[in-house]
Structure 1
Amino acid sequence: MLRKDLGEFPYYRPGKSAEGKVKLSSNEADYAPPSFVQDAIHAAVQYGNRYGEFRSPELTAALAEYLGLSEDNLCVGPGASSIVQRAVRITCNTGDEVVFPWRSFEAYPLYVRMAGAVPVTVPLADDYSIDLRACAKAITDKTKLVILCNPNNPTGTTFSRAEFREFMDMIPDDLVVLIDEAYWEFNDDPERPDAVQEIQDYPNLIGARTFSKAFGLAGMRVGYGFAQPELAKALNLVALPLAVTGMAEQAAIAALAHREAFSPRVEESKRQRDRIAQAIGAAPSQGNFVWLPRADAADVEQRIFDEGVIIRRYGDEGVRISVTSEQEADAFLNAWERAGLSKSDSHC
């Protein structure tokens, strides 16, 4: 009755939560939506008996103005991950391959398997950065999509525009590439590529961003993709109809209209991120989180949990610590100290 391979699907494990604990496991913002966003949500509640507008035309227009693109370049969905899933749908038939670095965002292998395609994972470099040349070498005649998370989640590393363009020159012109820029606003590397600009030169490129992180609207579930019109049209074609609610759309529109209000919050997140990285001896990160490679990751996670803070473990590879406020940073660093951990412990 069910698919024979269903039991083989990778299981997406969300960040843990527990009452009375400080949750630093899901890269969420440590603040409620601003009053102007809440007002927009409350105003939209009265229409909660109605579906949202098909394909979110008002938000699409606002995004076009924000990004300097045409509405024909855009698609909207419930989170950037929905754009990734659509990219798999429009490119892959059963048995086709999708190449992506690993470790990266946990949902990628699930989306690939759901489509009946084959995930091809490429190990990260020794410094936990994405090895773009290795990704290019992993491409075969069965490869239909490459997914690149920049900055990479959970390691926080980023690749440069020069490295990206070298990669694009190495691969077939008709192979679709998606850059997942969910953490775009936290990436202050001056050499970073900007997918909004890069799609002008690459008709096979898709960019994906979200309102969940820098705009602090994870609970609203709004993201967007952008590409040249042919790809954008295909992404819209396979979208789940009416997946973005009217309340979510109005929240995102309000956030864009007052986007300058979020800049101080993003800057604070970056300051506290860097503070934690320096304090525990972790490498610099370009996300709203810090990656700490640890062979004893389970022990570290438990010791921090016992001190009242939840972080996220990735097997025996390491832990990721979300941080968006001084209060969160203080809570983690105090837990780190109480757990008896020190800077010298920060190694594999």
Structure 2
Amino acid sequence: MNETSAPDQYQPAADPLAPVERIRTRACLEALPAYIAGKPSVDDGRRRFKVSSNESPYAPIPAVVEAATEALATSNRYPDMGVLALREALAARHDVDPQQICVSTGSTAVIADLVRAVVDPGDEVVYPWRSFEAYPIIVGAQGGNSVRVPLTASHEHDLPAMAAAITHRTRLVLLCTPNNPTGTALSHEALADFLRRVPEDVVVAIDEAYREFHEPATVADTTALFREHANVVLLRTFSKLQGLAGLRIGYAIAHPRLARALTAVTIPFGTSAPAQAAALACLRPEVLEELDRRADALRAERDRVQGALAADGWDLPRSQGNFLYFPLAERSAQFTAFAEQRGLVLRAYGVDGVRATIAEQEANDLLIDICGQWRERDAQA
């Protein structure tokens, strides 16, 4: 799933000569939560590792950088509005018609397109909570009503409760697997059972921003589920494993009617030429091979860190993402401050928990060390 910038908290002093604003903004905006991005490292001369955003520790593959750089040479021209070359390549990869691939500026933008396409003011959108922080913002900005279904005690989607939460006003259900920030994933069987319980006129979006980090042997066959259910749409991104977070590009795999609706509401020329070129280069066979090696390495490193923490007494949700989740409740802010003092910038979620992205080995070793210090301090208290 995608990281964006938090709103600027700086408020300039009022200018007595400035005109008085009397414009009207939409009432629903007053209730929107602010998106809080991963906290940046403090620039105080001390080395810190920023693992507060779910970013790849690897730079983009050189061939991808080269493709994006070449595209800059013609940036005085608009990009291909239809994103045809990339859509054709993705369609071949997923064995669908190119018209079923809908590209936008990151999977977050695709979710926003989806909400604009199916949600009228007052309609309901059901999703798990806690999950991707942009969900309530996107739904509320469209005037939709969020129906947040709490995660289970094991920090997983409560699919029976989500099915029960669907009403005649529900237009969309969002599922995030692996779930950001908890890392838990939905099995194929659980998804199949849930989809049998959802009315055919309710869209079910399966947000798979972190799919590449899931263990391949147990990842859900969402393509098969897509083919079986005309109300399913799959959401993917190039921001995570491919390392194109700064270029902003993601896509949906949709059935024809919904695909046409998504195309109708997306921003014209939104996906830049460098982003299109970079994403297309990511689909070259030799690049895919390198990305697979990187995914293997990140999964191994995630499992190494989670295993070390478990041996030290930590009971964390089993993560299938490129991050770990610490359900520390009201101690979340204290833990992030403790870690930052020792050189590691983490991501706190209110009084729910803390997320740590799997990064370079030195950062991961530091996380293990800090977690050991935290437990040792607790034992001495």
Q: 1:137 to 1:54 in 2, by over 3 A?
A: same
Q: What is the aligned-residue identity percentage?
A: 38
Q: What one-letter code is carried by the residue in structure 2 that aligns with 1:342?
A: R
Structure 1 segment 315-330 matched on structure 2, within 5 A: 315-330=350-365
Task: Provide the rounded CA distance (Å) in 1 between the counterparts of 2:51 and 2:178.
Answer: 18
Aligned to 1:293: 327
Q: Structure 2: any 5+ residue segments left out of the alignment?
A: 1-23
Task: Provide the rounded CA distance (Å) in 2 between the counterparts of 1:345 and 1:242.
Answer: 54
TM-score, normalised to structure 2, is 0.87
Task: Provide the rounded CA distance (Å) in 2 between the counterparts of 1:4 and 1:54.
Answer: 33
Deviation, 1:65, is 1.8
Task: Provide the rounded CA distance (Å) in 1 between the counterparts of 2:87 and 2:100.
Answer: 9
Deviations 1:263-313 (A, max 9, x none): 111111111111222222223200000011102111100000111111100
Deviation, 1:236, is 1.1
Query: Which has the greater radius of gyration?
Result: 2
Q: What one-letter code is carried by the residue in structure 2 that aligns with 1:196?
A: T
Task: Provide the rounded CA distance (Å) in 1 between the counterparts of 2:53 and 2:348.
Answer: 11
Task: Provide the rounded CA distance (Å) in 2 between the counterparts of 1:32 and 1:106.
Answer: 25
Structure 1 segment 153-302 matched on structure 2, within 5 A: 153-188=180-215, 190-257=217-284, 258-280=287-309, 281=314, 282-295=316-329, 296-302=331-337
Provide the secondary structure at the position in 2 that maps to 1:266: helix
Deviation, 1:196, is 2.4
Deviations 1:73-97 (A, max 9, x none): 1111111111111111111111000
Aligned to 1:334: 369
Provide the secondary structure at the position in 1 that maps to 2:206: strand
TM-score, normalised to structure 1, is 0.95
Task: Provide the rounded CA distance (Å) in 2 between the counterparts of 1:75 and 1:131.
Answer: 29
Deviations 1:141-174 (A, max 9, x none): 1111000001111011111111111111112111
Deviations 1:100-119 (A, max 9, x none): 00000000000000110000
Provide the secondary structure at the position in 2 that maps to 1:179: strand
Deviation, 1:344, is 10
Deviation, 1:343, is 8.4
Deviation, 1:211, is 0.5
Structure 1 segment 36-115 matched on structure 2, within 5 A: 36-115=63-142
Task: Provide the rounded CA distance (Å) in 2 between the counterparts of 1:5 and 1:43.
Answer: 43
Q: 2:51·2:344 contact (CA, 8 Å) conserved in 1?
A: yes
Task: Provide the rounded CA distance (Å) in 2 between the counterparts of 1:4 and 1:238.
Answer: 22
Provide the secondary structure at the position in 1 that maps to 2:131: coil
- Is residue 149 of structure 1 aligned with residue 184 of structure 2? no
Q: What one-letter code is carried by the residue in structure 1 that aligns with 2:289?
A: E
- Across the aligned residues of Structure 1 and Structure 2, the Cα RMSD in angstroms comes to 1.6
Aligned to 2:340: 305
Deviations 1:182-203 (A, max 9, x none): 0011111644323322211111
Q: What one-letter code is carried by the residue in structure 2 that aligns with 1:288?
A: N
- Is residue 8 of structure 1 aligned with residue 31 of structure 2? yes
Between 176-185 and 232-241, report the one with greater CA deviation. Answer: 232-241
Deviation, 1:7, is 1.8
Q: What one-letter code is carried by the residue in structure 1 that aligns with 2:26?
A: R
Task: Provide the rounded CA distance (Å) in 1 between the counterparts of 2:28 and 2:256.
Answer: 35
Deviation, 1:42, is 1.4
Task: Provide the rounded CA distance (Å) in 2 between the counterparts of 1:289 and 1:262.
Answer: 18
Task: Provide the rounded CA distance (Å) in 2 between the counterparts of 1:43 and 1:345.
Answer: 54
Q: 2:155·2:317 contact (CA, 8 Å) conserved in 1?
A: no
Task: Provide the rounded CA distance (Å) in 2 between the counterparts of 1:73 and 1:103.
Answer: 30
Task: Provide the rounded CA distance (Å) in 2 between the counterparts of 1:148 and 1:74.
Answer: 19
